[in-house]
Chain A
Amino acid sequence: MSVEYGLTLTLLAFMLLAAWALARSDDLLAAVMLAGIISLASAAVFTVMDAVDVAFTEAAVGAGVATLLSVRALGVLGERRAAGRARVGLPFLVVLVCGGLLLYGTADLPAYGDPAAPAMQHVAPHYLARGGVETGVPNIVTAVLASYRGFDTFGELVVIFTAGLGVLTLLAGSGVSGARSEVDAGDRDIIVRQVVKWLVPFVLLFALYVQFHGDYGPGGGFQAGVIFAAGMVLYALTFGLPRLERVLPPSRLRLLAATGVWLYGGVGVACLLRGGAFLDYAVLAEDAVDGQHLGILLVELGVGLTVFSVMVLIYRAFTRQRHGGVE
């Protein structure tokens, strides 16, 4: 057994412990934190498994954004404990059947790390051997994501957009507007204010680095959008939502969210107009590889724009809610 495999197994066992604690706990905040821990541990597992882009995203999204939104929502909900009686019989049966089936199905999978596995044989070698040459992008994950399977990524962008649209639709008209101390004042503590004031520009700079360096290293539009949004949220937490809204009014955020989708789709349509297939970046420039590079740059920018603005819109929608209470 290799060291890496042992590390993976240890981390998985640790996650299983956390899941066990999660299942037993009635405390909702503890449940959120345990889920965050599981997510962060999975990011470590992804790193061990060479999936650096995935690890990056899971750490930013699963451990970061999901935890942030959950804690925000818990505050708005005013719920602390899950007191109701759990059902046991049917869930246990279903889990037993599904788990048994999966154990059966995974039993003859190729061993961990086997380079001769069927999954390694057919399509993947093409990406690894030709991806860098055909797209001019050394990070093959970015090449597959933005070009070979660019239509999936367009769909993924629409999914995020749909979520933002859905949150705005569901929470429309039920928010609080006008002055409210908790939302408005932010944090008055001088240490926090000073630290955040110094930190936010670096967070934004890092986001830009991740956005434009995604061709060469882990990163890309999605991770960059999340980090940029995190910088904005940090700013709003410290200096109050109104200060952020002065820079980024909701109407502008909505426009940006739409613009990201249009940019991605627009690149696709531009390819159509120039006689290629939808999202065939090769027709965008004289040289096919230059076209690929340009197309990937533009669609990643679209992803970054929409992800960033949707994240901030969602955060704002939850923060603007009245706490607790019944209609």
Chain B
Amino acid sequence: MSAAWLPVLPVVAPLLAAPLWLVVRRPQVAWWGSMAVGAVAFAAAAALLVTVLRNGPVDYAFGGWPPPIGIAYRIDLLGAFVLVLVSGVSWVVSWAGGRGVEREVDEPRRALFFSAYLLCLAGLSGMVLTGDLFNLFVFLEISSLSTYVLVAAGRDRRALPASFRYLIMGTVGATFVLIGIGLLYAGTGTLNMADLAARLPEAFDRRAVHTGIVFLIVGIAIKAALFPLHHWLPDAYARAPGVVSAFLAATATKVAIYVFIRVVFFVFGAQATLEALAVQHTLTALAAAAVVFGSWAALRQDDTKRLLAYSSVAQIGYIVLGLMLADVAGLQAGLTHLFNHALMKGALFLALVAVVYHGGGQRLSDLAGLGARMPLTAAVIVIGGLSLIGVPLTAGFVGKWLLVEAAAAKGAWWLIAVVVVGSVFALGYVGRMLEALYFRAPAAQGGAGIAEAPLGLLVPALVLAAANLYFGIDTRLSAGLAGRVAAALGGAG
């Protein structure tokens, strides 16, 4: 395959495949086809990462028009790293799609469900790769619209208002991004990110530029569900079909945070933005609040999916805390945790899909006694849970440890306290799940049909759980790469 195809393949392949399932309305065909396309996208992403590691950043000019006249991709190590994560996890999660939709999506919606899945993947990949601010907005909307569809595709009626609320919040967020882009354009006359970065220093004293930066950051923060703009997240994740929760938890908020990194560190220049506009202090405080509030709220949930969703709010806090240290160590910690959190939440949400498959519920009490009946699923929950707490030898430990180190190096002791408090809460909410799994008797005799889930669900869950263990021990791909990215960013900022 020619190198000219590589940068466009992860986006264009799913975009061109998605309309197929509107014409061929066979769920099984759609599922297999989507997995094949997911494999292509993942392979292309991996090849891109290798290329970038070998030869440095890849530039791609759409339509042959050089930037800033045309739209261009500039794929650096950070972009390739996040793209591999997104396309990889979404591919593994899509394996579970075939079985997952059987229980949670009505027949006439199943084939179209996979179209929306592919569109969402394409939107997220486009956001990662693009080097153009307005193109970012377009792909943000592709991913958002398909996400609203995915969330509401299931049988739970509560998903409908949840999706609508997400739509309203998400559109307000996207419109904020649009306002931000417009004001930046008014101040500089360009939409290309690299060009903008070059032209900003001389335009930085324009008020339109300040306001544009603030609106852009707030809009992205809504998409990233950063406290206190997280209101859409718990309901959307808890009511969506399980496969969708796994997909979104592993990818959507991650991409939003990636965009944040790209915009703040590459385009605006970390120093100027963080100091001049007091962004750093505000976001650090909000991220710390996210950790404490999210973890505490997770502790109070009775619904397992809501529990995990609130835990996500907390994890986003950890990631942003790392980023806002704004040095190489902090960035490395944030990026590592971003990578690992995708693996944890993917595994945990998929395990819950397996629990529901044979008629189990999603309350904590529904987990009772499953440790014996569904040993493999329970094992996935154990591994994912331990990783979430941050127990050594799991992936979750690595990111938190790096964060503590980075904070200690800067003497930010209160930040370590926040991490400890969050982890203690995590011990609490994960403990409640494990206690129900292993030490509680099944509620009634009624659940006799409950047995281990089919392989179609177990395999992807186990793969992600195994990844949690693997990246807890071998950190070259996660923390190692994150370190290289952070070093590059440190140079840029």
Contacts and interface: CB of A to CB of B under 8 A. Distances in A.
Do the two chains touch directly in the complex (Cβ atoms below 8 Å apart)?
yes
Interface of A: 101-102, 104-110, 117-124, 126-127, 147-152, 154-156, 158-159, 161-163, 165-166, 168-170, 172-173, 254-255, 257-258, 261-262, 265-266, 268-269, 272, 275-283
Contact of A108 (B61, B116, B149, B206): B206
B332 interface: no
B186 A158 contact: no
A265 B12 contact: yes
Contacts, number: 175
Given A101-B211, A169-B149, A173-B109, A280 B187 contact: no
A102 to B, nearest CB: 7
Given A170-B152, A254-B23, A122 B199 contact: yes
B189 A119 contact: yes
Contacts of A117: 186
Interface of B: 4-5, 8, 12, 15-16, 18-20, 22-23, 60-65, 68-71, 106-109, 112-113, 115-116, 119, 122, 126, 132, 134-135, 138-139, 141-142, 145-146, 148-149, 152-153, 179, 183, 185-191, 195, 199, 203, 206-208, 210-212, 214-215
Contact of A257 (B19, B70, B71, B141): B19
A301 to B, nearest CB: 16
A146 B142 CA distance: 19
B56 to A, nearest CB: 19
A150 B71 CA distance: 8
A11 to B, nearest CB: 20
B16 A262 contact: yes
B69 A104 contact: no
Contact of B189 (A118, A166, A255, A281): A118
Ordered nearest first, which 10 A-B pairs have the shortest CB separation? Answer: A105-B211, A122-B189, A258-B19, A280-B64, A155-B138, A166-B149, A172-B108, A151-B62, A173-B108, A169-B112
Given A121-B189, A156-B138, A165-B149, A278 B8 contact: yes
B68 A265 contact: no
Contacts of B109: 169, 172-173
Contacts of A268: 8, 12
A155 B142 CA distance: 7
A170 B146 CA distance: 12
B138 A159 contact: yes
B5 A272 contact: yes
A108 B153 contact: no
A186 to B, nearest CB: 27
Given A150-B63, A169-B113, A280-B63, A105 B12 contact: no
Given A119-B189, A155-B135, A165-B116, A106 B208 contact: yes
A262 B15 CA distance: 9
Contacts of A159: 138, 141-142, 145
A173 B106 contact: yes
Contacts of B115: 165
Contacts of A162: 116, 119, 142, 145-146, 149
9 contacts: A105-B183, A106-B207, A118-B188, A151-B71, A159-B142, A169-B149, A169-B153, A262-B16, A275-B4
Contacts of B212: 105
Contacts of A154: 15
Nearest to A126: B69
Contacts of B179: 102
Contact of B69 (A108, A148, A152, A279): A148
A147 B65 contact: yes
A109 B186 contact: yes
Contact of B64 (A102, A107, A108, A276): A276
Which secondary structure dominates where chain B touches chain A?
helix
B189 A120 contact: yes
A278 B129 CA distance: 14
**Which of A119, A120, A147, A276 has the most C-beta atoms of chain B within 10 angstroms of its own C-beta?**
A119
B63 A148 contact: yes
Nearest to B20: A258
A124 B188 CA distance: 12
Contacts of B210: 104-105
A280 B61 CA distance: 9
**Which of B23, B60, B64, B189 has the most C-beta atoms of chain A within 10 angstroms of its own C-beta?**
B64
A162 B22 CA distance: 11
A277 B61 contact: yes
B186 A119 contact: yes
B12 A277 contact: no
Contacts of A147: 63, 65
B12 A172 contact: no
A84 to B, nearest CB: 14
Contacts of A262: 16, 19
**Which of A108, A156, A166, A172 has the most C-beta atoms of chain B within 10 angstroms of its own C-beta?**
A166
Contact of A152 (B23, B134, B190): B134
A221 B4 CA distance: 29
B152 to A, nearest CB: 6
**Which of B8, B23, B63, B208 has the most C-beta atoms of chain A within 10 angstroms of its own C-beta?**
B63
A90 B63 CA distance: 46
Nearest to B146: A162
A278 B207 contact: no
A163 B145 contact: yes
Contacts of B71: 149, 151-152
B39 to A, nearest CB: 19
**Which of A117, A126, A168, A276 has the most C-beta atoms of chain B within 10 angstroms of its own C-beta?**
A168
Contacts of A280: 62-64
Contacts of A106: 183, 207-208, 211
Contact of A168 (B5, B112, B132, B203): B112
A150 B64 CA distance: 11
Given A102-B211, A269-B12, A257 B22 contact: yes
Nearest to B182: A119
A155 B119 contact: no
Given A118-B188, A148-B70, A279 B116 contact: no
B62 A108 contact: no
Contacts of B141: 155, 159
Given A118-B206, A169-B116, 12 more contacts: A118-B187, A118-B188, A122-B190, A149-B70, A149-B71, A155-B141, A158-B119, A162-B119, A169-B153, A254-B22, A276-B64, A280-B63
Contacts of B152: 170
Contact of B22 (A108, A120, A126, A258): A258
A113 B138 CA distance: 28
A166 B190 contact: no
Nearest to B214: A101
**Which of B12, B152, B188, B214 has the most C-beta atoms of chain A within 10 angstroms of its own C-beta?**
B12
A121 B188 CA distance: 9
B16 A261 contact: yes
A307 to B, nearest CB: 14
Contacts of B62: 150-151, 277-280
